[in-house]
Amino acid sequence: MSTFGARILASAGQGTLDPSFSLLAPGASANAGRTDALFIALLVLCGGMAIVIATLIVVFSFRYRRHAVVDRGNQASGESAGEIRLEIAWTVTPLLIFLGIFAWSTWDYIRTTRTPADALPVYVVAKQWMWKLQQRTGRREINELHVPLGQPVRLVMTSQDVIHSFFVPAFRLKQDVVPGRYTTLSFTATRLGEFHLFCAEYCGSEHSMMLGRVVVMMPADFSRWLAAGPNEPGLAERGFALYRSRGCSGCHEPGSTVHAPSLAGLIGRTVHLQDGRSLVADENYVRDSVLLPLKDVVAGFDPVMPSFAGQLDEEEIAAIVAYIRSTSDASEGRR
């Protein structure tokens, strides 16, 4: 941890109790600039309003203090028409301003959540009190995430126990990691360096120790780093091995005797269900289908698939999902 601390200090260029901190920590992702711009605009607006109100209070307090000799005349005893106009004005004006802010922030938010099609997937499993991450090639990391500069990355996250939250302040992004389902977070890093990774949702005793760092590298360095890792099979390869060894292929391969839907290119496809509903298949759908096959049966197939609940762990399911995703790279990155 001491080297970690030293690294933080080195990268931030600050010593303990160094008063030369910057008010806004530097942003390091594509959306950080937008978020900062919106934040500063809001700060100016809100600060301006606060200053105007404070000034008025101070000026009125001084000018109309009890012993001041000042004109206090022309006070209407009831609500005059002018007063009502004033009330309406200061009701409608803030409302319009607020709606404007809403539009701006919503626009930003939608842009931030949109994931480019070529985003690099990284699977994240959170548990008390660590982050386990896995690149598509199968290279695993704990409490560290290496990403290439300038390339969109999409985190597919789930938790093994309680709710955690993946928070990288330099990216101005945060997403809760919820047990029992996948949540996603996408970003494009725009600065080289190392950045804090925090767990932002209280998760028990060592919540404040659930730290990590995000390392942004040049794409070439990243490729080298990826290749230099322990030589494990890629996540999708591992998924394919599971797909074979656990018997998925026995039914889902096109030529098999049991009639089961083909999984090739499944993710991103619209699936029509027996009960008339339809949905776009995503990681959660695959996950549900592995664990709770009878929940969403595809139209035209018998509900014969057994549940794999308790037989596959979270990381194995992630591998199978990665494999299925790899069969449909063309449609990757929807949602």
Partner 1 sequence: MTARTAPLADAARTPRHAETALRMETAELGMWVFIATEILFFGGLFFAYLYGRTHWPEGFAAAGRRTDVVLGTLNTAVLLTSSFAVALAVAAAEHDRRRWVARLLWLTAALGVVFLVIKGTEYRHEWSEHLFPGPGFALAATAGAELFFVLYFLTTGLHALHLTIGIVLMGAFAAGTEHASGWAHPPRLQVAALYWHFVDVVWIFLYPLLYLIVRHS
Partner 2 sequence: MKDKPEPAPKDFAAAVRGLAATWVALIALMLASLGSAYLNLGVGNVVAGLVIATIKTALVVWFFMALRRASAMTRIAGAVGLATLILLMALSFADYATRARAPARWQSPQQLAPALGVGAQR
Partner 3 sequence: MSYLDDGYTLRSWLTTHDHKRIAILYAIAITGFFFIGGAAATLIRLELATPAGDLVSHDTYNKLFTAHGVIMVWLFLIPSIPSVMGNFVLPLMIGARDLAFPRLNLLSWYLYMGGGILTLAALFLGGVDTGWTFYTPYSTMFSNSYVLLTLTGVFIVGFSSILTGLNFIVTVHTLRVPGMGWFQLPLFVWAIYATSAILVLATPVLAITLLLVAAERLFQIGVFDPAYGGDPLLFQHMFWFYSHPAVYIMVLPAMGLVSEIVPCFARKRIFGYRFMAYAILGIASIGFLVWGHHMFVSGQSMTASLVFSLLSFVVAVPSAIKVFNWTATLYKGSIRFDAPMLYALGFVGLFTIGGLTGLILAALAVDVHLTDTYFVVSHFHYIMVGGSVMAYFGGLHFWWPKVTGRLYSGVWARIAAVIMFIGFNLTFFPQYVLGYQGMPRRYHAYPPEFQVLNILSSAGASVLAIGYLLPLVYFAVSLWRGERAGANPWGATGLEWQTASPPPTHNFDTEPAAPKTVYGYDAEADARLAARGAPASTERAEA
Phi, psi at 322, each rounded to 5°: -65, -40
Neighbouring C-alpha atoms within 13 Å toward the C-beta of 25: 13
- Cβ nearer to partner 3, comparing 86 with 220: 86
Angle between helices 314-326 and 283-291 (to 10 degrees): 130
Classify 48 as helix, strand or coil: helix
Window 131-190: residues binding partner 3 (CB under 8 A): 161-163, 165, 167, 169-170, 172-176, 178-181, 183
Task: From 14, 10, 32, select the one nearest 22 (Cα to Cα).
Answer: 14
Comparison of 97 and 294: residue with beta carbon closer to partner 1: 294
Size of residue set near partner 3 by CB under 8 A? 94
* Binding-site partner at residue 294 among partner 3, partner 1, partner 2, none, CB < 5 to 8 Å by type: partner 1
When CB distances are held under 5 to 8 angstroms depending on the partner's kind, the choice from partner 2, partner 1, partner 3, none that residue 310 binds is partner 2
Among 10, 33, 44, 53, binds partner 3 (CB under 8 A): 53
CB of 179 to partner 2, least distance (A): 5
Residues 282-311 close enough to bind partner 2 by CB under 8 A: 282, 284-285, 287-288, 291-292, 295, 309-310
**Which CB, 244 or 277, lies closer to partner 1?**
277
* CB-nearer residue toward partner 2: 240 or 285: 285
Beta strands in 160-256 (DSSP E): 164-168, 173-177, 183-188, 193-199, 212-217
DSSP 299: T
For 287, what's the count of Cα atoms within 13 Å in the CB-facing half-sphere? 19
Q: Which of partner 2, partner 3, partner 1, none does residue 287 bind (CB under 5 to 8 Å by kind)?
A: partner 2
Number of residues that bind partner 2 (CB under 8 A): 20
Tell whether residue 315 is a contact of partner 2 (CB under 8 A). Answer: no
| Look-up of token digits 């199978």 | 320
**Is residue 207 within 8 Å of 129, Cβ to Cβ?**
yes
Decide: is 180 part of the binding site for partner 2 (CB under 8 A).
yes
Tell whether residue 178 is a contact of partner 2 (CB under 8 A): yes
Q: Which is nearer to partner 2, 7 or 295 (CB)?
A: 295
- Per CB under 8 A, contacts with partner 3 among 5-34 are 5, 8-9, 12, 14, 16-19, 21, 23-25, 31, 34
C-alpha–C-alpha distance, residues 331 and 268, integer Å: 6
Which residues are at the interface with partner 1 (CB under 8 A)?
A: 275, 292, 294-295
Of the candidate residues 85, 181, 244, 277, the single one contacting partner 2 (CB under 8 A): 181
Contact partner, 282, from partner 3, partner 2, partner 1, none, Cβ < 5-8 Å per class: partner 2
Question: From partner 2, partner 1, partner 3, none, which one binds at residue 196 (CB under 5 to 8 Å depending on kind)?
Answer: partner 3
Pick from 172, 178, 130: nearest CA to 156: 178
- d(CA 316, CA 133) in angstroms, rounded, equals 13
Query: Hey, how many other C-beta atoms are within 10 angstroms of the C-beta on 312?
Result: 17
| CA dihedral (36, 39, 45, 48) positive or negative | negative
Is the bond preceding 129 in cis, omega lying within 30 degrees of 0?
A: yes
Q: Applying CB under 8 A, does 255 fall inside the site for partner 3? A: no
**Taking CB within 5 to 8 Å according to partner kind, which of partner 3, partner 2, partner 1, none is near residue 206?**
partner 3
| Gap between the Cα atoms of 145 and 18, Å rounded | 28
Choose among 231, 229, 234, 232: nearest CA to 323.
234
Other CB atoms closer than 10 Å to residue 19's CB: what's the count?
5
Q: Is 116 in the site for partner 2 (CB under 8 A)?
A: no
| DSSP H or E stretch at residue 57 | helix 30-63
Question: Does the protein bind partner 3 through residue 65 (CB under 8 A)?
Answer: yes
Residues that bind partner 2 (CB under 8 A): 160-161, 178-181, 279, 282, 284-285, 287-288, 291-292, 295, 309-310, 313-314, 335
